[in-house]
Amino acid sequence: MIVDNPFVNSTPGTNVYVTKGPDAYDNTQRALRAMPLSGLKGLRVLLKPNIGRSARPGAAVTTNPAVIAAAIDVFREAGAIVAIGESPIIGVDLEEAYRICGVTKIAQARKCPLIDMDKRSFVERSIPNGKVIKTLQICEDIDDFDVVVSIPIMKMHMHTHVTLSIKNMKGCLWRRSKVKLHMLPPVEGDDNKPINIAIADMSSVLRPHLAIIDGSVGMEGLGPSAGTPKELGVVVVSADPFAADSVACELMGTSAKETPHLAIAGQRGYGVIDIDAITIHPSHWRDWIKPFDRPPNNLEIEFPNITVLDKNSCSACQSTLLLFLKKYADQLLDYFPNQKHVHIAIGKGHDHVPDKTLCIGNCMLNQEGRGVFVHGCPPVASEILKALTDTVNDCR
Ligand code: SF4
């Protein structure tokens, strides 16, 4: 990657551009054309959308393909050589995810390469100022490009409050090394969740040159995968990804200061998160704020027939469980005949769980035999359903 950022121009201050309208392609083109593009001639540009999961367009899980298409067209017009790359979450078939979310179609129409960044190896990068992580395994493909552009979709997130352009860079970490960020022990004397400190650490060495935040249809509530689509019709662009994330937070009715990984990074001086220190175009951008529902703090309110026994679980296990509950909570009692309530246990160090508990993840191995057990570290949501179905079938 090059050090000089071709998107930084002589306009003083930290600038963020917001566009709004019914057409995500048009919004993206208009926002990008506000940026200096002449420096892109001959540069290799990697577009890093959020295609971490398989989901259809409109489900608000993955980046809108129209936003990616507009970025390809604008950057190519400026003379850049463009490709799209991703390293999805464990268990996701990226070829299928690209196809289902609509990215294959727009890439093929433009003969734009689609890269599975897990196919090759990794480069180890040290984090001199890292608090909870000292090295990262970064997909080798990143070093083939001069410029990296983070193109997340606006989503609330159960563990990191929101997921935007800084958090989206986690999808440049190689294969399973991403999961390590979810499995860190608490830091003594620091109330922040280790995942949030780790993302701030990561952002000190893995930072995009440009953020294009897709707020056409975002996700509120139980994000990043089990929430509800929220139509906003905006795109946010900036050469300072922290500033872009900060503005996106405001549009979602929250703030960077409430988002621990951004707050930590801002305190460390990695970028500008103070909304009053950012020049936001146009000046009436606040008219477009549409507050997103926050992720629930208490799952038992959301799922009244279920008690979650959580002891020191990683956010990876929590995400799997949430995704499962969002899809199947209504049917869960069908797998536990004669019960009005189901216990689910995740995490490390459970000495004893009630009989017939649904025990999820390898950390629960010591309780195998007390109920239904689901292997995996982290387990995947489809395996939970499979384990339940197998158990019912075995009882017949
Ligand atoms: S099983 Fe779950 S809680 Fe245990 S280490 Fe794996 S992801 Fe973390």
- Can you give the residue range of the structural domain that contains 263? 14-288
Q: What's the rounded mean pLDDT across residues 4-25?
A: 92
Is the CB of residue 377 below 6 angstroms from any atom belonging to ligand 1? yes
Is the CB of residue 5 below 6 angstroms from any atom belonging to ligand 1? no
Looking at residue 392, its pLDDT comes to 67
Instruction: Give the 3-state secondary structure of residue 354.
Output: coil
| Among candidate residues 288, 309, 340, the one where a domain is terminated | 288
Give backbone dihedrals phi and psi of 41, rounded to 5 degrees, phi first.
Answer: -55, 120
Give domain status of residue 8, yes or no. Answer: no
Q: How confident is the model at residue 250 (pLDDT cuts 50, 70, 90)?
A: very high
Closest CA to 172 of 125, 214, 130, 106: 125
Query: Quick one: 170 and 304 in the same domain?
Result: no
| Among candidate residues 288, 316, 337, the one where a domain is terminated | 288
Q: What's the rounded mean pLDDT across residues 136-152?
A: 98
Is the CB of residue 378 below 6 angstroms from any atom belonging to ligand 1? yes
Give domain status of residue 383, yes or no. Answer: yes
pLDDT at residue 11 greater than cutoff 80: no
pLDDT at residue 117 greater than cutoff 80: yes
Domain count, the chain: 2
Q: How confident is the model at residue 22 (pLDDT cuts 50, 70, 90)?
A: very high
Q: How confident is the model at residue 299 (pLDDT cuts 50, 70, 90)?
A: low
- Across-strand partners of 260? none
**Closest-lying ligand 1 atom to the alpha carbon of residue 361:** 1
Query: Quick one: 188 and 331 in the same domain?
Result: no
Ligand 1 centroid, distance to 376 Cα (angstroms):
8
Residue with CA at minimum distance from ligand 1 atom 6: 377
Query: Quick one: 258 and 338 in the same domain?
Result: no
Looking at residue 140, its pLDDT comes to 97
Query: Quick one: 274 and 375 in the same domain?
Result: no
**Closest-lying ligand 1 atom to the alpha carbon of residue 312:** 3
pLDDT at residue 371 greater than cutoff 70: yes
Q: Is the dihedral of CA 149, 151, 155, 157 positive or negative?
A: negative
For residues 97 and 88, what is the distance between their CA atoms, to the nearest angstrom? 9
pLDDT at residue 2 greater than cutoff 60: no
Query: Quick one: 50 and 180 in the same domain?
Result: yes
Lowest mean pLDDT among 158-167, 266-275, 320-329: 320-329
Q: How confident is the model at residue 102 (pLDDT cuts 50, 70, 90)?
A: very high
Is the CB of residue 345 below 6 angstroms from any atom belonging to ligand 1? no
Residue with CA at minimum distance from ligand 1 atom 8: 314
Contact criterion met (CB below 8 Å) for 117 and 80: no
Give domain status of residue 4, yes or no. Answer: no
Query: Quick one: 70 and 183 in the same domain?
Result: yes
| Among candidate residues 288, 316, 339, the one where a domain is terminated | 288
Ligand 1 centroid, distance to 215 Cα (angstroms):
32
Is the CB of residue 295 below 6 angstroms from any atom belonging to ligand 1? no
**Closest-lying ligand 1 atom to the alpha carbon of residue 313:** 3
For residues 213 and 198, what is the distance between their CA atoms, to the nearest angstrom? 22
Asked whether the whole model's pTM tops 0.75, one would answer yes
For residue 230 the two structure tokens come to 């929220």
pLDDT at residue 236 greater than cutoff 80: yes
Q: Which runs of consecutive H residues, i.e. helices, occur in the chain?
A: 24-32, 65-77, 94-100, 103-109, 177-180, 194-203, 241-251, 260-268, 299-302, 315-328, 381-395
Is the CB of residue 194 below 6 angstroms from any atom belonging to ligand 1? no
pLDDT at residue 348 greater than cutoff 80: yes
Higher pLDDT, 296 or 50: 50
pLDDT at residue 315 greater than cutoff 80: no
Is the CB of residue 254 below 6 angstroms from any atom belonging to ligand 1? no
3-state secondary structure string across 108-143 = HHCCCCEEECCCCCEEEEECCCCCCCCEEEEEHHHH
Looking at residue 226, its pLDDT comes to 83
pLDDT at residue 39 greater than cutoff 80: yes
* CATH code of the domain containing 63: 3.40.50.11440
Pocket test for ligand 1, best of 184, 344, 363, 384 (most atoms within 8 A of CB): 363
pLDDT at residue 182 greater than cutoff 90: no
Ligand 1 centroid, distance to 260 Cα (angstroms):
22
For residue 226 the two structure tokens come to 């089990």
Q: How confident is the model at residue 370 (pLDDT cuts 50, 70, 90)?
A: confident
Q: How confident is the model at residue 225 (pLDDT cuts 50, 70, 90)?
A: confident
Query: Quick one: 93 and 210 in the same domain?
Result: yes
Query: First vs last Cα of the chain: how many Å apart?
Result: 59
Is the CB of residue 183 below 6 angstroms from any atom belonging to ligand 1? yes
Q: How confident is the model at residue 318 (pLDDT cuts 50, 70, 90)?
A: confident
Q: What's the rounded mean pLDDT across residues 227-256?
A: 97
Contact criterion met (CB below 8 Å) for 265 and 61: no
For residues 63 and 214, what is the distance between their CA atoms, to the nearest angstrom? 6
Q: What's the rounded mean pLDDT across residues 86-114?
A: 95
Ligand 1 centroid, distance to 179 Cα (angstroms):
10
Pocket test for ligand 1, best of 159, 178, 184, 317 (most atoms within 8 A of CB): 317
| Mean pLDDT, the chain, whole residue set | 93
* CATH code of the domain containing 347: 3.40.50.12280
Q: How confident is the model at residue 330 (pLDDT cuts 50, 70, 90)?
A: confident
Query: Quick one: 260 and 208 in the same domain?
Result: yes
Looking at residue 207, its pLDDT comes to 96
Is the CB of residue 363 below 6 angstroms from any atom belonging to ligand 1? yes
Contact criterion met (CB below 8 Å) for 352 and 218: no
Q: How confident is the model at residue 196 (pLDDT cuts 50, 70, 90)?
A: very high
